[in-house]
Amino acid sequence: RAETLSVVSAFVDLEDNLFAASLGATPEVRKTAHEKALVESVPAYLRYQERFVRGTYYFGDKVTYADLKLYQIASKLEEMYGPSSPLKTRAADFPKLTKIVESLAAGKAGDYTRNRRIVGIRRWFKDEWTWGFVAE
């Protein structure tokens, strides 16, 4: 479906933008880039996504890759921004997306995410405003 591709492509674009914000030369530059993303980019992407939801999930009553990608993004935003995540602070602006995330969190997807890392061995270092590798 073309719409599924559009949804997933937009999420990949959002991930790229967040990653780019993490590449600044100093923590201050990265923090400024992320603060701007929280106010401008992330809400714009979420508004774009909200319009595609047509049922319990993106395309009806069955979970698709688009729903799982949303859940992955929501988990990443929560890890990066905690209570400042736009899906938390502006949940009323994105009721359909919020409902999908809550539904998946209560089921197998949430259980899987809580018990396994979905971002691999990289971790978010809040004080540095960037992703990095954890020494084992």
Structural domains for the chain: 2-133 (1.20.1050.10)
At position 88, the amino acid (one-letter code) is K
The Cα–Cα gap between 39 and 8 comes to: 22
CA-to-CA separations, 54 to 57, 76, 100, 107, in angstroms, rounded: 7, 24, 11, 20
> Of the candidates 48, 44, 104, 32, which has an alpha carbon nearest to the alpha carbon of residue 74?
104
Average pLDDT, the chain: 88
Q: Please give the average per-residue pLDDT across 41-69, as a whole number.
A: 92
Q: Can you give the pLDDT at residue 76?
A: 87
The Cα–Cα gap between 80 and 18 comes to: 10
- The whole-model pTM stands at 0.87
**Per-residue model confidence as pLDDT tens digits over 72-114:** 899 889 988 999 899 999 999 999 999 999 999 998 877 777 6
